Structure 1
Amino acid sequence: MHLTVWNVPETCSEEDVRDFIKRELGHYAKGVTVYDAGTSNAHADIELDSDVPYVGELVARELQSRRLAGVALRVSAAPFDGEAQQDPRPVSVR
């Protein structure tokens, strides 16, 4: 499951972004890749250590409320990763 973090300040280095995300997400951040650090297009891809479909959305909402170097982050979660997912609603068996 992946998140994309946008609106990363130009003043932040790749290491600043990684450290911030790992500090905020702890063990949930399996991997962090930072793109275009130091530019107005800086963003990060976070691989979450979870296969539960809606964890990404919950983590994205929580991280969205955080500020990095005084700038509010924008975070989006892919609704589903990989191949087709099963319907998460419970099935009643009669």
Structure 2
Amino acid sequence: MKIIVWNIPESCSEQEVRDFLGRELGHYAKDIEVFEQGTSNAYAKVDVDADDAYVADVIAQQFNGKQLGGVSLQVSAVPFGDDDTPPRRP
């Protein structure tokens, strides 16, 4: 299961995003990929290390709204096979 994190500030580097997500998600963050960093459409995909699919939903609900660089992040769980890119900003 994956979670998608978006609304990442343009000012955050890929390493800052990885460090923040790794610290906040702890052992649940199995793999973190950051895309389009430095743009208004920056987002990250996080593989969640959990046996039950509902765990990603709970993590997404708890993590939604956390602040990175003064900006509230948006987070959602993505079931396998679904589109795993966030909505693009115009």
Query: What's the TM-score bracket when you normalise by the shorter of the two chains?
Result: 0.7 to 0.9
Instruction: Give every structure 1 segment of 4 or more consecutive aligned residues whose post-TM-superposition deviation is greater than 4 Å.
Output: none
- What's 1:51 paired with? 51
Task: Please give the secondary structure, in 2, of the residue aligned with 1:50.
Answer: coil
- What's 2:88 paired with? none
- What's 1:5 paired with? 5
- Give the letter aligned to residue 42 of structure 1: A
The residue correspondences of 1:4-23 to structure 2 (distance < 5 A) are 4-23=4-23
What is the Cα deviation at residue 64 of structure 1? 0.5
Aligned length: 81
- Give the letter aligned to residue 75 of structure 1: V
- What's 1:70 paired with? 70
TM-score normalized with structure 1 length = 0.82
- Give the letter aligned to residue 73 of structure 1: L
- What is the percent sequence identity of the aligned residues? 51
What is the Cα deviation at residue 61 of structure 1? 0.9
Per-residue CA distance 1:16-75 (angstroms, 9 max, x = gap)? 000000000101000000000000010000001112010011000111031000100000
Instruction: Give me the whole-angstrom Cα distance separating, in 2, the residues matched to 1:11 and 1:65.
Output: 18
Q: Which has the larger radius of gyration?
A: 1
TM-score normalized with structure 2 length = 0.86
Instruction: Give me the whole-angstrom Cα distance separating, in 2, the residues matched to 1:53 and 1:4.
Output: 14
Task: Please give the secondary structure, in 1, of the residue aligned with 2:57.
Answer: helix
Q: Which runs of 5+ in 2 are unaligned?
A: 82-90
* RMSD of aligned alpha carbons: 1.0
